Structure 1
Amino acid sequence: MTTLKKKILALIFAVFSLTACNNSNRQNNLVNETSTVDTLANTKEGSNVNAIDTVSYDYSYFPIDSLFTTKVLTVGTFHDDEVWESADKEKWFGLFKRKAGFYLQETKLKTKRVYDQIVDENENEKTGWGVQTMNKDTSIILIEASKFLTPHSVQQAILSKEQVFPGDTLRINYLGIDYKIFATGRKKKVQDDPEWFDVWNYKLYLTAKIKGQQKTSLLAAQPNFDDQMINIIFAGDIDGDGILDFIIDTSRHYNATSPTIYLSTPADNGEVVKPIGGHTSVGC
């Protein structure tokens, strides 16, 4: 074999060896990466191959219950640990709806022990709670009394949608101020429901220019959802300062609800609103 042929064969072998090593490293890196994250499998109709999208979760949660400063309740029937003994003895404001519109007013609660059909073995056990108000109008949410809550009519902001998916924007003009709600994160269509998405690394923001200052608030953050989506229940000036407030269901699970109230008066500098309290309850 000539010297030239030997050099050519040596070069080919070196290139082949280098390529094989690089492929091996890529496979090892892929194994290391996918072993630490979850995956979503997308099976296309008519194909035997599953296309795998690697999903890395950002485990950010907001709001955080332990940082709430105000008690919140809703009317209805609840499990034992979702209401407390002294709730009916405390001072409350309620956001109510009547034919003429919404209003905030002081109210008294009526609580009593009731049969919990999920937990109780028989109807005589009654470990659950029933919560009602003395007000006959429809109760939207109940808020522990505070110095920045006073009775007044509340003009509701009309929303074009209640859910904001990643990449979407919701614009609201309320009492002369322009607000923008937008969401970041990732989404992927669900095959058996073209109107729904799998969503992960979700963050919901509110921004507005108020008195010449641009302000931004994080409203919610969840790494993922289980057949559920952040839902805006109500928008209007609840605390009476002329700035938009919100009630948002921040639950990430289909079997739970977490109506959370966001007010502008207690918001920190640079923020539009601040979550002050929420009430989480589960179906079973």
Structure 2
Amino acid sequence: MTKLKDNNAQNFKNSFKDKVILITGASSGIGAALAKGFAQEKAKLALLARRFNKLEVIASLCKMSDSQALALVCDVSKETEIEKAVATVQQQLGSIDVVIANAGFGVVANVENLTLTDFQRQFETNVYGVLRTLYATLDDLKKTQGRLVIIGSASGHISIPKYAAYAMSKHAITALAETLYAELAPYGISVTLISPGFVKTEIRNVNNLGIYQEGTRDPLPEWLRLDADKAAKIIIKAIRLRQRERIITVSGKLGVILNRVFPGLLPRFFRWQAMRKK
């Protein structure tokens, strides 16, 4: 009986009911799946993304679960948009308890076929967008002793050909999360880095300019990609427990483990593949 009471008390403590949760990149993929997952717990949701029509659909689905959901157009690569969005959230929903920096896309091509502008564009969203989100919400997180969640990637631990720009941005995010994990601890803020492998999202429908292309076929086989809703359940559990990092998907875990246990193995394999093709 005592154990049951302790579990109930712990569940109540970790409940997201009425917590204000801000999610960037919430119009599709992991961001949308997280929004729907938190809506089931009756959280107050601030959903940010560039595509308002898709945001409205997600917000409507969340409201069907009796959750408050505020849809706001926001491009995290723009200097002041996240600050304006956060001000609106504070005014309409209150102080923010959970911040999920999820917005991102991938620049994909051999380095010799990219320009500095391509790398800058990648970092503006994937790195500086996360920093803008952090700075805009940090005061609230200190006030609420909240949770900062950074959606990184298994590519933040390993690198593969054609993904240099993306992997560089995610390696930077990994370093940022590890630093913030220590720096924000005195304020009671937890920092959770989520490092997914292949998930069923629209990231491969977005070109190198960051523009969504309707109908683009994902080259990865279905069996290799984890359903976004299943990924969201794992991520929400990690956020609830204030875990430092959670690597998800079999492919993501396998790649990271191989790189840690056998450093140099994957780079040599990719080099061998490149030489074969030549």
TM-score normalized by the length of structure 1: 0.25
Q: If each structure's strand is expressed as a fraction of its own residues, which one has the higher value?
A: 1
* Greater relative contact order structure (CA < 8 Å, 6+ sep): 2
TM-score normalized by the length of structure 2: 0.25
**Larger of the two Rg values belongs to structure:** 1
Q: If each structure's helix is expressed as a fraction of its own residues, which one has the higher value?
A: 2
